[in-house]
Amino acid sequence: MGLFDWIKNSGDALRQIEDKMYQQKSDFIEVYQRNIALEKEIALRTEELRKANQTLLTLEHVWDMMNSSRPLSSVLETIVSSLHGEFGYLYSCILQKQLDTQGSFFAFRTYLQNSFSEELDKCIPNNLFETRFIIKEGAELNEVLKNREIMYFDNLRKVLQEILPFELSDEKIDEFKQKNPAKSLIALPIVSKGFTGLLLVFSPREDAKDSELNFLNLFARQIELAITIANLFETVKKQAVTDPLTELFNRRFYEDALSREAVRALRLNQPFSLISLDLDKLKHINDTLGHAAGDAAIKTVARVINKNSRSVDVPSRVGGEEFTIILPGVDSQGALIAAERIRSSLEQEHVEGVGQVTASIGVATFIEMTTDVDELVEIADKAMYFAKQNGRNQVKLAEAQESVSWQDIAIDAFVQILDQHKIPFGKKTANELIKRLQSRQESNNGTFAKELLFDVVDTISKTYTPYYTSGTTKQKIELAYAIAKRFELTKADMDKLKLAMLLYDIGNVMIPSDVLTKTTPLTKEEKEVITKHPILGAQEILKPISHVSSIIPIIEHHHENWDGSGYPDNKKGDDIPLISQIILIVDSFYAMISERPYRKAFTKEEAIIEIQNLAGKKYSEELVREFKNAIKDIYME
């Protein structure tokens, strides 16, 4: 090969190498450019993923708030705060549409404090939270609620002028805009049951992407759901502690509040008062005008009580026509003034279809009169009954408990019964019970005395009724007392009833246990033993105890039936003492809902139906009616 051929071939080879290197360079540049584009795509998708994750976390936070038991205001503040913090918005808030005597307006439902709100506060004459925002006619913000759609505004000056109830100077707006880099406002409708409002989001960005608006729209719907759930929770919570007819607190809440207030009063050595109020002649209103008229009268009393109560007071409906008001920090003189104000206000009310209604009111004060909660309730009731028995429509201040109470009489009676071995207890058991009863003398506590009595009677009852349930004695007395109050018994008769309820069944200890627990029909002789037990109990056990002599006739006739078919004397109708009738219906009810060797226990509903079927036969129709009302009161939620 010649020199020129070699040079030519070498040049061709060099050109081939150069072409190849150029092609590789082009490929490398293309790969490099593709990598740059891919990195940008990855960065973009990573940011989108971060935002999506942030969105999910925020929505999860909203869901957690929705399922919490926190108040609605707290839930909304937390939700809006998370929106403001996590997505870089300058400020976010919820305005709620409200209505008063001056018309409709918008007010802050959430109010977050930061530099944005502080600067906005400086622009307006009133506190931002107290401002009534009125969206002017024709304003674009009206379209948000009207069309139920999200709207975006980039002219903050115009929006502020449309919503503020006063003219805002250009200087003020410019000053505000200089200190707050808000470039746009996003408004979303919030519409839920019982709630209409706007979610306002101030953004530092001039525009909003579709993804951002879609998220905010979803966020607003979650807020609506949170409001719905929170409102339902508040409704259920309220229903649990309020009386459905009057919307006052119910018996359960009242009893808990009374216990808490007593603890607080003793800790701070600060008195509180209890007002016991009873609507006069409700039974007459129900009987002559119907229960609708009675309900109207009850609602009127509740409205008057609410109107004349402070925010710290605890007004409650604890029975059919019975109301109480706990007055924290109020002494007896202050409570008398409050009670008289309620009485006077009620007297001036006119109830449609009824006319004027009045109430009898008793007032008692904790620490000043007693440091025992049960005794406080008792002396307040006693004062109320004094007012009712002495003309109605008046206020009576309670007096300190009498030196000898029905509890003391009952304790002394049981001590004598046990000491004389009239109950088939072993000597050791009897002595233990006597010792417990006598410990009452070492305590001036009415609650202790009653609980002690209930426990002793439960213990005695189990000796002849093995299936007797602890706590039944207390429940029986509560029901009997509730029925008696509906018949407006005097305080003396109320005390007789309580004493008789503790002692009426004592004659059962004289019935052989095999007769009491027999599962087959009783023989003629066994029936005779059963019919004699009230007389035997009264005459042989109670008659020697002088200070219970007044209740012996009551106990002797607590098995007489209204139609004369009862025992031991076949008394009928009004010849039967009312207290005996009350004992009979209470005893029957608790016997029905208790297990027996020969049958299963009735449900409460079944027992009430059974008693209803015996109206006019075993019990008077009036007694059955008031029994049902008392049952309803006791189990009223």
Q: Which CATH architecture has domain 406-634?
A: Orthogonal Bundle (1.10)
Give the dihedral sign, CA 45/51/53/59: negative
CATH of 72-239, one of 3.30.420.130, 1.10.238.10, 3.30.450.40, 3.40.1280.10: 3.30.450.40
Q: Going by DSSP bridges, is the β-strand pair 395-397/359-366 parallel, antiparallel, or unpaired? A: parallel
- Would you state the pLDDT for residue 326? 96
Question: 3-state DSSP call for residue 54?
Answer: helix
The torsion region of residue 31 among left (phi > 0), alpha (psi -120 to 50) and beta comes to alpha
Q: Which residue is it, tokens 């009534």? A: 132
Give the CA count within 13 Å in the CB-facing half-sphere of 93: 20
Q: Which residue is it, tokens 């009731």? A: 381
* Furthest CA-CA distance within the chain: 157
Sequence-distant (6+) residues with CB within 8 A of 85 are none
207-238 burial, b at 16+ Cβ within 10 Å, e below that, comes to: ebeeebeebbbebbbbbbebbebbeebeeeee
Are the beta carbons of 560 and 570 closer than 8 angstroms?
Answer: yes
- Would you state the pLDDT for residue 637? 44
Strand residue runs (E) in 367-447: 395-397
Cα–Cα distance for residue pair 190/110, rounded to 1 Å:
13
Alpha-carbon torsion, ordered 375, 377, 383, 388, to 10 deg: -140
- Would you state the pLDDT for residue 28? 66
Are the beta carbons of 481 and 494 closer than 8 angstroms?
Answer: yes
- Would you state the pLDDT for residue 635? 65
- Would you state the pLDDT for residue 42? 65
Give the dihedral sign, CA 235/239/245/251: negative
- Regarding pTM above 0.75, the answer is no
Cα–Cα distance for residue pair 592/67, rounded to 1 Å:
43
**Boundaries of every domain in the chain:** 1-50, 72-239, 251-397, 406-634
Classified by CATH at the fold level, domain 251-397 comes out as Alpha-Beta Plaits (3.30.70)
Which residue intervals of 67-197 are DSSP H helices? 72-86, 115-123, 141-147, 156-163, 170-179
User: Over the chain (637 residues), what is each successive 10-residue block's mean pLDDT?
Assistant: 64 68 66 71 63 56 54 71 69 85 82 76 72 81 86 82 72 75 87 86 83 80 78 72 90 91 91 95 88 93 94 90 94 94 95 92 93 88 87 90 70 79 73 78 61 82 71 88 86 86 73 59 67 65 74 87 91 93 93 82 92 94 92 69
Burial label for 205, CB within 10 Å (0-12, 13-18, 19+), is middle
The pair phi, psi for residue 428, each rounded to 5°, is -65, -45
Q: Which residue is it, tokens 């008195």? A: 271
